Amino acid sequence: MNLLAILIIISLFLLWKLEFIATLLNLKTFPSTPPSELDGLMDREKLDRARSYLSINSRFDIIRSVFSLGILLAFWFAGGFPFLDNLARSLAGNEIISGLIFLGILFLAQNLISLPFDYYETFVIEEKFGFNKSTVSTFIVDRLKGLLLAALIGMPLLAGILWIFNEVPNAWIWAWAFVTVFQLLLTYLAPSFILPLFNKFTPMPDGDLKSDIEALGDKCGFPLQGVFIIDGSKRSTKANAYFTGFGKHKKIALFDTLIEKSSSPELLAILAHEIGHFRLGHIKQRLFVGILQMAMVFFLIGLATDPNGAFARQLHDAFMVDKISPQVGLVLFTILLEPASKLLSVIANAWSRKHEFEADAYASESTGTPEALATALKKLSSDHLSHPAPHKLRIVLDYSHPPLLQRLKALQGGKATL
């Protein structure tokens, strides 16, 4: 138990405490009467349901976070990391294969631990409030597909990273380049080969809505290769929409639940908002910053896995692991990075909220109907039982999108805040 171990433990507890305080403050700020902005969409009964939904989810998140932190500390103090490392090495003499065994066991254990929580969230909480449409068989099949994809995609990626850190000088640079290319390729292939494994994508039939969407794309200089409807109602009543693709190969994916609950002007406003992210350069900016962040992360991973480095030695000693290795270093660095990542996410969330305000303004200008986007946002917030006025600390920590009332104020010409 060296100084670094003590600092990690303190950081993890402080992070948990911060999340706990934010949760309590968020519950305390829930309004007692429906906001006037939601007249006609949220009455007192629905507000009470939203409060209950928030309260139940908050208690569930606290229990889940306490359990996860407890499991981590118990595994750590019981010598789980050196035991698992030695076990993996005894099963395979090859450094890369033993590394994959080590990481694979941790991945499977994490999934097994989270499985009861995921099940309860889906079939108890979401079911209670009428959101869940998934069946047990769909739930199980989705997770089996996820494990299969992790094996087919994750194992080659991890094998490449482990090989680079074991064999290549200046490994962090090459690992960064390898992962960046891999992620870009995966982003390009996912809409055609991965997402359809979980949802059915049906081309939108010809009609006024499709014509209006294509006309909006032309007006905004946003070439579309296709407009698709997703069977989101297979799993949830919650609505969504997104764009996929690069360059001239852009596609629009609309959840069937969104089409069912929205008018044509509202749908066009939502899509104009998403187009705004592309037209204003938000996607490229985030991609560029993400690549730079990845470079910094791999530089630090290089320090955490350097067999001759003082930092790597202290990190492995903190978790009682004798042999410095890329696979163990990756896991330990991830634990070390968690508190720092939360602080960095505060900056990323603030930047994202700024982009959302800008995309709202773009949608308002390009459609000429800010009230359509405002109505769509109100419906989504009301239907999802979202917190009408979340606490500022919760917003700062977790909100990548501005709260509803601030977005409505900005659409009405007010100053964008938060």
Catalytic residues: 274, 360
Contact yes or no for 386/404 (Cβ under 8 A):
yes
- Could you tell me whether strands 201-203 and 224-230 are parallel, antiparallel, or unpaired per DSSP bridges? antiparallel
Calpha distance 265→368 (Å, rounded): 10
Contact yes or no for 256/231 (Cβ under 8 A):
yes
Calpha distance 392→29 (Å, rounded): 10
Q: Of 2, 6, 28, whose CA–CA distance to 391 is shortest?
A: 28
Burial bucket for residue 216 (CB in 10 Å: 0-12, 13-18, 19+): buried
CB neighbours of 57 closer than 8 A, spacing ≥ 6? Answer: 125
Cross-strand pairs, 243? 252
Contact yes or no for 233/256 (Cβ under 8 A):
yes
Q: Tokens in use for 129?
A: 């409030």
Calpha distance 277→270 (Å, rounded): 11
Q: Of 371, 369, 357, 363, whose CA–CA distance to 401 is shortest?
A: 357
Calpha distance 274→244 (Å, rounded): 11
| Three-state secondary structure call for residue 237 | coil
